[in-house]
Amino acid sequence: MSAAKPPRLLAFVTAGERPVLEVAAQRMVGCVSKATGTTWPVRLRFLTPDEAPPPGMAIIASMVGDVATSETDIEWVWHSRIARWRSAGDIRILLCTVFRHVDDAAVRPRAVERIRRLNLLAIALSRSEGVEIVDLDRLFALHGARTLGTDYRCTGADAATVAGVTIAGAVLGGDLDDHLDAATREQAYRIHGGGEATAR
């Protein structure tokens, strides 16, 4: 058996982060297709804030949209969001941390503190809700904001490549039994080269 069915990769991200998910989907298509010897299509679907998700292999979620909001009970918002996603069926949720770099000096102190709190919340959600963490904050810090040409919003071609390839690795590195047999998934993960990407 190779691919059981064409899966959906679901994403809850800002408009500026969509290129990241496009890179991730393309990377997964390439790795699995090479592993199976046939084209393995991935349907990328972006979710709205109040939407119950359709069936899919994983939801990639971002907190970037929460940095500039005035929402105070953000923990309740995320617990409710995850409960809504899970009510549609058992699905992997991969939550990305937010890069602690803000270009705009006028809002930097408040925004950096907000990001710090969001990243702590991501860790708490991984423990209480069982979501998987993709630590883009650590990854981007290793490369540097100047090298990637980005800030917390994850914009720019280099940032999209590094984040997208890393997300693809995180998805391929976990349970995809409803879509791929274990041997094919492991081969695709080896083709991918592991978890994290490097900047060009």
- Count Cα atoms within 13 angstroms, Cβ side, for 27: 28
22: domain CATH number?
3.40.50.1110
The pLDDT of residue 116: 97
Give me the numbers of helices (H) and strands (E) for the chain, helices first please: 7, 5
Q: What is the largest CA-CA distance in the chain?
A: 55
Residue 200 included in any domain: no
Residue 111 included in any domain: yes
Stated pTM of the model: 0.92
Quote the tokens at residue 141. 């810090």
The pLDDT of residue 4: 47
Quote the tokens at residue 31. 């790795």
Residue 155 included in any domain: yes
Residue 197 included in any domain: no
Residue 166 included in any domain: yes
Quote the tokens at residue 180. 């791929």
The pLDDT of residue 103: 95
8 A C-beta contact, residue 60 and residue 96: yes
CA distance 37 to 32: 8
8 A C-beta contact, residue 36 and residue 72: no
- Name the nearest CA neighbour of 151 among 110, 95, 104: 104
Query: The domain containing residue 40 runs over which residues?
Result: 8-192
Total structural domains within the chain: 1
Please report, as a single letter, which amino acid is at residue 74: I
Residue 73 included in any domain: yes
Residue 198 included in any domain: no
What pLDDT tens digit does each residue of the chain (200 aa) get?
444 457 899 999 999 999 999 999 999 999 999 999 999 999 999 999 988 899 999 999 999 999 998 778 999 999 999 999 998 788 999 999 999 999 999 999 999 999 999 999 999 999 999 999 999 999 999 999 999 999 999 999 999 999 999 999 999 999 999 899 999 999 999 999 965 654 44
Residue 1 included in any domain: no
